[in-house]
Amino acid sequence: MSIVADNPATARQGQLLEQANSYLAGGGLGLFVLPPEVNMVIAEGHGSHVRTVAGQDMVDYHLGSGPDLLGHAHPDVVAAVQRQVPLGSTYYFLNEPAIRLAEQLVKAIPCADAVHYTGSGTEATFFAMRLARAATGRSKILKFEGGWHGMNDYALWGTVPSAPSAYPQAEPDSVGIPDALRGQVLVAPFNDTERAISIIEQHAAELAGVIVEPLERVLVPEPGFLDELRDTTSRHGIVLIFDEVVTGFRIAWGGAQEKYGVLPDVATYGKAMSGGYPMAAIAGRTEVMRYLDARRTEWSQLVWASGTLNGNPVSASAGLAALEVLARPGTYDRLHQIGGRLRRELKALGAAHGLAVQTPGEDAVFGVRFTEREQLRTWEDLLTADKSLGFRWAIELIKRGILVNPNEKFYISTVHSDEDVDRTLQAADEAFAEVARSRQVR
């Protein structure tokens, strides 16, 4: 297809999209690619906005899928990175930014006696599960239906089932997962305390770890659910892993552990911890982290968890600067105030158009789901949402300069303004009108 556009910027974007289609597997960078009518290439991001190569200004609620909690190119983060870059990009050996960031992480994360860096959240959960096996001498892992722990072979079970699972049996989400792992990963229903605890107790003798997103995507834990997980895993000597890749430094300074008041043995971090630069980590109690420590553990008992870019000084410098900004008084109040307003007003706007819209989650990260079900507690509840309506609504938003990932989450930054929210609500109003109209026509 040749590019026909009167505007050189639009033509340039069209040309780049053609190249992306030719040279990138699937034409994109991950699982999801925007449909052609709204597909675009981002040229730059500043604060809560991005600008496309075609010149469209967009209010960004995807924020790099969460890492840009301070918005794009925060001046303090940029300055820290610029100070580090001329000093070298990576060393593998100890460096000051990585050491200082580790100290900050241990101080901020309630369950942390020590941290271990990894390159991505996928690696962090992968190694955390390996740690649990080392610490217990057992092999199985229990996760929750609908819980997202990245792309490793142990994480991709029961992540997005289209029907309720046959607990505790899980189905792989992707092709290419070894069949030998069937039965090694069990699933339980999130927020169904009685059933989850009963599954854990039945399989306790084989379970190395229980891994949970404490805020499962957009599902807030019911009071007592995480406490019961904590009690039961402690009683049976099972390692409790909180996956805080999304919640860490986002829903509170001390993440979900602080917000919900339950401490795991190990937690995984990524996204917001390094100011939008690539880095992740495992944090945990000495009893478990010692399996990563060659000074305390015989070589034959050691968990291998190396990575070429672990503790990268550029990412660590960005992380240090980002945490310094986040620690300022009022930061989280502002985040909650902006996100809270959006959640309330989006729901009300949907209702004004005759659409049952729910905005489950926390103010700093939430979903917009088209469903009559008011109480969204479990994965089964989320399955009641009309995904095609959600998708069409999101595409209408994108057309109007509001960047979201359809049927996923709204990530709020500390720099989204009231004007951004006003503009978003105006676009959302039009988008609701459009989908309500198309629903009547069908």
Ligand X SMILES: Cc1ncc(COP(=O)(O)O)c(C=O)c1O
Shortest distance, position 262 Cβ to ligand X, whole Å: 17
- Of the two residues 144 and 432, which places its CB atom closer to ligand X in the complex? 144
- Of the two residues 214 and 350, which places its CB atom closer to ligand X in the complex? 214
**Which residue in 47, 71, 150, 319 binds ligand X (CB under 6 A)?**
150
* Interaction between residue 280 and ligand X (CB under 6 A): yes
* Interaction between residue 148 and ligand X (CB under 6 A): yes
Shortest distance, position 183 Cβ to ligand X, whole Å: 23
- Of the two residues 13 and 125, which places its CB atom closer to ligand X in the complex? 125
Span near ligand X by CB under 6 A; candidates 7-15, 119-127, 365-373, 391-399: 119-127
- Of the two residues 52 and 257, which places its CB atom closer to ligand X in the complex? 257
Taking alpha carbons only, the member of 277, 296, 280 closest to residue 288 is 296
The 10 Å CB-count burial string (b at 16+, else e) for 231-246 is ebbeebebbbbbbbbb
Q: How many helices (H) and strands (E) does the chain have?
A: 13, 16
Taking alpha carbons only, the member of 121, 131, 180 closest to residue 155 is 121
Report the residue closest to ligand X, judged by CB.
121
Shortest distance, position 415 Cβ to ligand X, whole Å: 22
- Of the two residues 244 and 386, which places its CB atom closer to ligand X in the complex? 244
**Which residue in 245, 262, 289, 368 binds ligand X (CB under 6 A)?**
245
Which residues, at least 6 apart from 306, have a Cβ–Cβ distance to it below 8 Å? none
Q: 124 near 105, Cβ under 8 Å?
A: no
**Which residue in 56, 122, 193, 232 binds ligand X (CB under 6 A)?**
122
Cα distances from 281 to residues 49, 86, 209, in angstroms, run 28, 25, 18
User: What residues from 335 to 374 belong to the interface with ligand X (CB under 6 A)?
Assistant: none
* Interaction between residue 118 and ligand X (CB under 6 A): no
- Of the two residues 71 and 119, which places its CB atom closer to ligand X in the complex? 119
140 φ/ψ angles, rounded to the nearest 5 degrees: -85, 155
Shortest distance, position 21 Cβ to ligand X, whole Å: 23
- Of the two residues 245 and 376, which places its CB atom closer to ligand X in the complex? 245
* Interaction between residue 243 and ligand X (CB under 6 A): yes
For the four alpha carbons of 101, 279, 63 and 407, in that order, the dihedral sign comes to negative
Shortest distance, position 216 Cβ to ligand X, whole Å: 9
- Of the two residues 125 and 371, which places its CB atom closer to ligand X in the complex? 125
Place of tokens 């959960």: 125
Span near ligand X by CB under 6 A; candidates 41-49, 243-251, 288-296, 392-400: 243-251
* Interaction between residue 211 and ligand X (CB under 6 A): no
Rounded CA separation 289/284 (Å): 6
Span near ligand X by CB under 6 A; candidates 6-14, 241-249, 380-388, 419-427: 241-249
* Interaction between residue 121 and ligand X (CB under 6 A): yes
* Interaction between residue 149 and ligand X (CB under 6 A): yes
Question: Would strands 140-144 and 185-188 be described as parallel, antiparallel, or unpaired?
Answer: parallel
Shortest distance, position 246 Cβ to ligand X, whole Å: 5
Number of residues that bind ligand X (CB under 6 A): 14
**Which residue in 47, 264, 270, 276 binds ligand X (CB under 6 A)?**
270
Shortest distance, position 408 Cβ to ligand X, whole Å: 10
What count of other Cβ atoms lies within 10 Å of the Cβ of residue 278?
14
* Interaction between residue 246 and ligand X (CB under 6 A): yes
**Which residue in 213, 362, 363, 381 binds ligand X (CB under 6 A)?**
213
Place of tokens 């994480």: 155
Helix (H), strand (E) at residue 333: helix 331-352
User: What residues from 62 to 91 belong to the interface with ligand X (CB under 6 A)?
Assistant: 65
DSSP string for residues in 403-436: E--TTS-EEP-TT--HHHHHHHHHHHHHHHHHHH
Tell me the two tokens of residue 79: 């300055």
**Which residue in 48, 95, 125, 232 binds ligand X (CB under 6 A)?**
125
Shortest distance, position 428 Cβ to ligand X, whole Å: 24
Cα distances from 294 to residues 125, 193, 208, 241, 283, in angstroms, run 21, 38, 21, 22, 17
First to last CA, the chain: 32
Helix (H), strand (E) at residue 194: helix 193-203
- Of the two residues 14 and 158, which places its CB atom closer to ligand X in the complex? 158
Shortest distance, position 228 Cβ to ligand X, whole Å: 21
Query: If you compute the radius of gyration of the chain from its CA atoms, what whole number of angstroms results?
Result: 22
Rounded CA separation 44/182 (Å): 43
Please give the residue ranges that form the binding site for ligand X (CB under 6 A): 65, 120-122, 125, 148-150, 213, 243, 245-246, 270, 280
